[in-house]
Amino acid sequence: MELRKIMVAIDLSDYSKANLQYASALARAFDAELLIVNVIHQRDIDVVLKCESLYPSVISKDKYIEKQKIERSSCIKKLIEECSVHDVPLRIIFRNGVPFEALLEVVKDEDIDFVVMGPKGRGNVASVLFGTNAEKMFRHCPVPLLSIRGNNREDLRLTWRREKHCKNTDLSRS
């Protein structure tokens, strides 16, 4: 199996550090490029648009998105430092939209070979009702997807998803 591009979904949740550590280890092992992807959720943009229509001199969608990119970029760079990801070629990509749809777009647009992400992120009540972005990625992702379930070695469980079938592996006893 050849992996040229590995994508890691970073939502800056508690899972982000473990996700980046595993993705960077895979990128090192396969001499692959690492793409760190962060999505500015469409629901947040919609709220800003509503506020912009009421208070156009106070807030704008474009300024909000730019501010989010700057703040998130700073957080991601700190995460890169914490995880010592300096020996791997990487890019940071920001997308706007529904997270799982935006992530699938990156998989397609960037010709991604492998995805690493957490089982859940910074979800809300809607995810309980409609399913998480991670669940939707598992169902629709056209490439292998590794889900890091835990943010420390003691409770680490990995789920490996390949096209058309799933195999769950508990590596916490390794």
* Domains of the chain with bracketed CATH: 5-169 (3.40.50.620)
Q: Do residues 80 and 38 touch, judged by C-beta distance below 8 A? A: no
Examine the pLDDT at 129 and tell me if it is beyond 60: no
List residues bridging with 165 in a β-sheet: 162
pLDDT score of 154: 42
pLDDT score of 153: 45
Largest CA distance in the chain: 57
Residue type (1 letter), 109: D
Least confident of 36-45, 55-64, 163-172: 163-172
pLDDT score of 148: 86
Mean pLDDT value of segment 36-64: 93
Mean pLDDT value of segment 142-170: 54
Query: Residue 151's pLDDT band (boundaries 50, 70, 90)?
Result: low
Q: Which residue has the higher pLDDT, 120 or 171?
A: 120
| Residue 15 vs residues 52, 55, 155: alpha-carbon distances, Å | 32, 36, 12
Q: Which residue has the higher pLDDT, 164 or 58?
A: 58
